[in-house]
Amino acid sequence: MDRRQQKTRTAIFQAFSSLLAEKSYNHITVQEIIDRANVGRTTFYDHFETKDELLKALCENLFGHIISSAEDSTHTHGLYSNNSAPESIFCHLLQHLQENDNNVLGLLSCESSEIFLRHFKNSLNELIQNQFVNQNRKNNKDIPSDFLINHISGSFVEMVLWWIKGRMKQTPTELDRYFRSVIEPIL
């Protein structure tokens, strides 16, 4: 994708995100996105066939970046003054959420949050399977992996919602400690 296409795509994402902060997904029209992004209808449809496809791409972009950043311990975004990333991938993930790149926390708590929460949970599933269930599982081997993955990712999403609603009073390190103390005995 060339620079011009990337710039257009970014403008569409930003327009869509700002509209989502104002009203529910179902009440947003493609015309409103086009107007806010200041692009033509043809340009919009060159990038996305439907509003649903735009939503999916936005979620993949946001959560894909956060998940891949958390998996890459060298990718710290300047979060660590001593240049050492945290031991826990959950803590790293929470720190990226705390940075609130592209207003991800606003999207997770907006009127259309259920859509974003579902995509966020789905993004977590692969991370949890690769990092925990497939590698470190010592307990409950008779419980199906997909059940454990669903349970852990669902718990993590609910914890993030609890954190957002509580105005993020806890540090990512504290939340990580809470979460791991509940999850590790299961694995």
Please tell me the predicted confidence (pLDDT) of residue 67. Answer: 75
Inter-residue contact 30 to 16 (CB < 8 Å): no
Overall average pLDDT of the 85-100 stretch? 77
Please tell me the predicted confidence (pLDDT) of residue 158. Answer: 93
Question: Using N-to-C axis directions, what is the helix angle for 113-128 and 51-71, rounded to 10°?
Answer: 40
pTM (2 d.p.)? 0.75
- Say whether pLDDT at 116 is over 70: yes
Please tell me the predicted confidence (pLDDT) of residue 34. Answer: 97
Overall average pLDDT of the 106-121 stretch? 80
pLDDT digits (tens, 9 = 90+) for 1-40: 789 999 999 999 999 988 887 888 889 999 999 999 999 9
Please tell me the predicted confidence (pLDDT) of residue 81. Answer: 40
pLDDT digits (tens, 9 = 90+) for 151-181: 999 999 999 999 988 989 999 999 999 999 9
Overall average pLDDT of the 37-58 stretch? 93
Mean pLDDT of the chain: 83
User: How many secondary structure helices (H) and strands (E) does the chain include?
Assistant: 9, 0
- Say whether pLDDT at 104 is over 50: yes
Q: What angle do CA 70, 176, 110 make, to 5 degrees?
A: 75
Pick the closest to residue 113 from 20, 9, 14 (CA basis).
20
Please tell me the predicted confidence (pLDDT) of residue 44. Answer: 96
